[in-house]
Structure 1
Amino acid sequence: MFYFNSNKMFFIFILFFSTLISISSNSWFGCWIGLEINLLSFIPLISNSNNLMTSEASLKYFLTQSIASINFLFSILLKFILMKNFEINLFLSIMINSSLLMKMGSAPFHFWFPNVIEGLSWLNCFILMTWQKISPMILLSYYFNKNFLIMIMILNSIIGAIGGLNQTSLRKLMAFSSINNLGWMLSTILISENLWMFYLFMYSFLVLIMCFLFNILNMFYINQLFILNLNPLIKLSLLINFLSLGGLPPFIGFFPKWIVINYLINNKIFILTFIFVMMSLIMLFFYIRIIYSSFMFNYLKMKWFKIFIKNYSFILINFFSLISISGMVLSTFFFM
């Protein structure tokens, strides 16, 4: 289970509060203050003096977020000074968008994202992949350059799919999966705010299941899935949730992607639809490769090497898997 102490709870509360400051502010400067509080509250959550990897991750996170914050502040100050100049305004919109995209770990500003996630616990991975994207994405929806955003969506989709192909670390795999899903999420900003909230909720739910599973099993690398005395039901749950995260029908992860594809086809944006679907197939390819290997290639461990999972945790895992299977079937009835 995810472990919480009083200090962690305090910083998580500040993290939540800072996001509310950013999204409810009526000035760019207020948004910047919210982003800074968010940064300063997340650093203590990820830094741990006993682990060098978390210290390195917190330093990398701090440096990249600081650079993004400086760019954001510089852009909004220039925007106030040079408001009437259209050409400069166009350049500033790209600058503001770039700094916000860098904050959420979007391609082509994604180089820090997998490296930082590699040094985090599963709880912090979950926060970084879901909650930390909310403020920048809402601010991006206020002031975006459409052509620039479409280019970023395509880059996210391609880099997220290709980057995950040669990964052996589950955390890096989840990071590239997050980059790929970010392309879909950015497309929902162009469509509808309600659709963006629905996609974020569904993606957060699926990432929570995966992080919960890996945290219980204490797994960080793909070869740990090949253990012979791992319960087959757990492997089946991993199969279902991986495929749901990849967006394979009839699993529930396909449902928000289905709405996006439907909108893109209705608006005759076929090239973007083709890229999204093909990159999702690549994502599914390496998810299926991992699951196939975990079922087929088992190696023996020592007899005392056992994984004990409490009954209520196992019930939760099976319940989440059941939702993933039945959710898409139920949703089709609502839309018939």
Structure 2
Amino acid sequence: MNPFASTLILLTVFLGTMLILITSHWLMVWIGFEMNMLAMIPILMNKPNPRAMEAATKYFLMQATASMLLMAAITINLMYSGEWVIMNVHNSMSSIIITVAMMMKLGMAPFHFWVPEVTQGTSLPSGMLLLTWQKIAPISVLYQIAPLINLNVMMTAALLSILIGGWGGLNQTQLRKIMAYSSIAHLGWMTAIMMYNPDIAILNLLIYILMTLSMFMMLSNNSTTTTLSLSYLSSKTPLITIALLIILLSMGGLPPLSGFMPKWMIIQELTKNNMVMLPTFMAMMALLNLYFYLRLTYSTTLTMFPSSNNMKMMWQFQSKKYTKLISPLIILSTMILPLTPIMLTLT
């Protein structure tokens, strides 16, 4: 892609999200989502092929439907209240429609079908942008209208997302699809706590973005897209393989690692609000995610792919690729659990 065009497109994606974050006017929120959607389509088609075109088409159809629902909800709210302010959603129907529109934009269950297909159909950098930056704007809208959201709709979607995010990734061998189902499950945890403590949801989003960025950077560094190609990493890049193992366990939420922090805080907060069964079910369904993360760690680090002795020493002769920011991202993705008391005081 032309450097000028790619810079302009990325700037539009950035400005669309920033517009949603700083505005308090519903019309500007809708314009921000439209800017974001239209600039994201050429990014998904960066390497033109039938799969990329299919992914871009699916993304456009789903996001356009969500934008249409959002505009319908804004219009209904304007008819009843005469206001464009985000915090003033006076009609229950418009509140439910806005929530559904944000769920569609995020790719939460039961509107999750497009996320694995779109992520699989595009390149690793585009998939990384889709699963990280594109989640910020809808989550910020849900954060602002959190006191006005219908509890039953949000909790049902959160539980379904955690279940489907774990269940869908069990039988996958494509790493981009696995990361997409992981995203669906993490969004379920974020939205489950959104009604009770939105600050914890934002913390969960930040930690999820750190872990996903680290994961995609390491996969892009080695051009790895399947579990089969993942099994060669121990002979190509031993240190990256160990880091990959730790980040996968962190994404699963195992205790000594960073990924355990948001799950711990969410379960604690839900229990404080006299909800015991809900976090119990969420923790049990999170084991499905942990299973396919462990399956990836098993194929990556706990087994050695059958190869000759020359292949096992390939890392000594391969040209070194240095990815910027990968070291601090790995540290933040795995070692910030001791900061939990500080985070609890901030939330």
> TM-score, with normalisation over the residues of structure 1?
0.89
* Deviation (angstroms), 1:234: 2.4
For the 8 Å contact 2:110–2:160, the answer to whether it is kept is: yes
CA 1:97–1:309 in 2, change beyond 3 Å: closer, same or farther? farther
For the 8 Å contact 1:216–1:309, the answer to whether it is kept is: no
Between the aligned partners of 2:248 and 2:295, the Cα distance in structure 1 is 11
What is the RMSD computed on CA atoms of the aligned residues?
A: 2.8
After TM superposition, list the pairs within 5 Å mapping 1:1-336 onto structure 2: 5-48=3-46, 50-82=48-80, 89-141=91-143, 142=145, 143-227=148-232, 229-294=235-300, 295-300=302-307, 308=318, 310=320, 312-313=322-323, 317=326, 320-329=329-338, 331=340
Helix, strand or coil at the partner of 1:106: coil
For the 8 Å contact 2:47–2:123, the answer to whether it is kept is: no
* Deviation (angstroms), 1:284: 0.9
Between the aligned partners of 1:35 and 1:133, the Cα distance in structure 2 is 11
Identity of aligned residues (%): 34
CA 1:331–1:5 in 2, change beyond 3 Å: closer, same or farther? farther
Between the aligned partners of 2:332 and 2:132, the Cα distance in structure 1 is 20
Q: Deviations over 1:246-270 (max 9, x none)?
A: 1111011111221111111222211
Amino acid at match of 1:254: F
For the 8 Å contact 2:210–2:333, the answer to whether it is kept is: no
Helix, strand or coil at the partner of 1:191: coil
CA 1:204–1:323 in 2, change beyond 3 Å: closer, same or farther? closer
Unaligned runs of 5+ in 1: none
User: Which is worse superposed, 291-300 or 100-109?
Assistant: 291-300
CA 1:309–1:161 in 2, change beyond 3 Å: closer, same or farther? farther
CA 1:302–1:111 in 2, change beyond 3 Å: closer, same or farther? farther
Q: Number of residues paired by the alignment?
A: 330
Amino acid at match of 1:212: M
* Deviation (angstroms), 1:210: 0.1
Between the aligned partners of 1:135 and 1:325, the Cα distance in structure 2 is 25
Between the aligned partners of 1:330 and 1:311, the Cα distance in structure 2 is 32
* Deviation (angstroms), 1:207: 0.4
Helix, strand or coil at the partner of 1:290: helix
Between the aligned partners of 2:279 and 2:164, the Cα distance in structure 1 is 16
For the 8 Å contact 1:237–1:317, the answer to whether it is kept is: no
Unaligned runs of 5+ in 2: 83-89
2:87 corresponding residue in structure 1:
none
For the 8 Å contact 2:193–2:270, the answer to whether it is kept is: no
* Deviation (angstroms), 1:26: 2.7
Q: Deviations over 1:221-243 (max 9, x none)?
A: 11111226233322211110100
Amino acid at match of 2:320: K
For the 8 Å contact 1:49–1:55, the answer to whether it is kept is: no
